[in-house]
Amino acid sequence: MEVQCRGKIILNSNPLYCRLQVFFVFLRKIVPEKPACSHFLYKNSVDTKYIFVTGGVVSSLGKGIISSSLACLLKARGYRVTIQKFDPYINIDPGTLNPYEHGECYVTEDGHEADLDLGHYERFTNVRTSRANNVTTGRIYQSVIDKERRGDYLGKTVQIVPHITDEIKRNVKLLGNTGKYDFVITEIGGTVGDIESLPFLESVRQLRWELGQNSLCIHLTYVPYIRAAKELKTKPTQHSVKNLQELGIQPDILVLRTEKDIPADMRRKIALFCNVAPDSVIQSIDVNSIYKVPLKMHEQHLDEIVLRKTGVTPEGEPHMAPWLDFVAKLDSATEPVDIALVGKYVELQDAYKSISESLFHAATYAGRKLNLVYVHSEKLAPENVAEKLAGMDGVIIAPGFGQRGIEGKFTALRWCRENDIPTFGICLGMQCMVIEFARNVLGLEDANSTEMDTKTPHNVIDLMEEQKSISNLGGTMRLGAYDCTLREGSRAAQAYGTTHISERHRHRFEFNNDYRERFEQAGMACVGENPATKLVEVVEIPGKRWFIGTQYHPEYSSTVLSPNPIFRSFIDAAIAYRDERLAKK
């Protein structure tokens, strides 16, 4: 017989059976069928915990590194963790920003152009990010305005509070509401006191009250060392915390960025003046590698403090053996590998952040110390190319857009090809490989990309067909992860250990397949292509030591624990070339 018991359909009319069914329904609500991890025991809450990371005094203190380090430690304890970045600028995303403005534009697998901190998040956690992990003021306002235009607010006056702050809060909790994560770490861009950050901080204030013990705030601040006085100064930190308190947010944990060790009595003083528990004042002293920061944070029990303050009992130690192995390799490496990176933004280290980190990962696993030499492509010419690149073990031709510095890349590629130097071209770097080969091997002197010369008679690189009708540039490139089939036996396939891969893209122009047969016959093989579109993804010259170009960006998928295979292959080739030269001396 079918009866209804407290809203549940029970196929039995026995009162005892009904009560048992209600009990089991209640149990399923309070206890997950599969605990998130061994540390989430039934006695503990399984609600998603939200951690907010704010910064004060100055920018570039390393909120992203601290957020990534904490996520790394929590993940090593078995928890499911994700990190998101809220940027206060009005751009919809950083896709249209000049690298001089914002550094590298990072691309997620789902095709979102994101802040470079998402690269740190992935490199530290081995967890892929998405569009939901990076939100800007522009996206928040765009969403609210779209809702207002649709009439969603029923004619009400749309205001910062509650409409903008509600939209921010909705985005903060978006990842937590999926049920996939135990901890959501939210980094608030900018510094306390910035006008642009105020709506985000107000949203954090509201969420702290709404979430209670399921949230906490970590405030990163600066303790400067005044060299003339030979003293560390705590006043900037005190003022920064005071500003945060004036906005209604009391930090639970302070992380003090410093060049010098902060004495225990000074940390107690900061705790006293900032209303923070003494054991929750942690220093982040400069180290020679960002990958040592998680270890430094664990030494001061940051992960344990976070767990206790969010109502979770810390148990055991995080499983950091693979990370410690990487750091041990980093510290033991003494023999260098010299790599030149040829690009037009070389004076700005963040413009090629993912590439430099991917090279570092690969070199470390190869037991070598990376010596990365930046070479400005705009200043490279046939007269000085040998001087700039001779002695390098390998050369990277960087991605980018536009005409500036392009001829210097052609010059570098010709010298590397003719001198058989291990060479790696990425995106525009790969396209430059194709153009240089067309000019100097195929004899097509006017060969070019239609990005640089719309009237070139030999458009060996051309605008993708689906891009020709697009005038609005924001977020309209070929973005995100796409499949690629590699030719059996090619050096690229050997590097990956498979013929089927998926890598991330960010481009509008492509190899022109009308010229494919001529390139193949002349010795440049098109060894990788998209199986659906036949778009050429990888070119290589098999007769060279290592000469490969990829239309995609393999640097986006390289992490500390999973370095990208093609970067490892490139570094191995560079080391072999170095050893070969040294053996001849």
DSSP H or E stretch at residue 18: helix 15-30
d(C-alpha 441, C-alpha 435), whole Å:
10
CA 489 to chain centroid: 32
Instruction: Return the amino acid letter for 399.
Output: P
Q: Which residue has the tokens 């990005």?
A: 451
Q: And the tokens for 332?
A: 């033991």
CA 45 to chain centroid: 30
Q: Any catalytic annotation for residue 553?
A: yes
Q: Any catalytic annotation for residue 555?
A: yes
Q: Burial, 489: exposed, middle or buried (Cβ in 10 Å; 0-12, 13-18, 19+)?
A: exposed
Q: CB–CB of 129/120 below 8 Å?
A: no
Which of 113, 122, 357, 555 is flagged as catalytic? 555
DSSP 196: G
Q: What residues does 503 pair with on adjacent strands?
A: 482
Q: Nearest CA to 253 among 48, 47, 49, 55?
A: 55
CA 370 to chain centroid: 20
CA 91 to chain centroid: 19
Q: Any catalytic annotation for residue 347?
A: no
Q: Nearest CA to 86 among 15, 190, 232?
A: 190
Q: CB–CB of 482/552 below 8 Å?
A: yes
Q: Nearest CA to 111 among 98, 125, 95?
A: 95
CA 154-158-163 angle, to 5 degrees, is 100
d(C-alpha 128, C-alpha 582), whole Å:
41
Which of 39, 163, 361, 553 is flagged as catalytic? 553
Q: Which residue has the tokens 């995303």?
A: 93
d(C-alpha 177, C-alpha 550), whole Å:
37
Which of 427, 432, 484, 526 is flagged as catalytic? 427
Q: CB–CB of 422/545 below 8 Å?
A: yes
> 509-511 and 458-463 as β-strands: parallel, antiparallel, unpaired?
antiparallel
Q: And the tokens for 441?
A: 């091997």
Q: Which are the catalytic amino acids?
A: 427, 553, 555
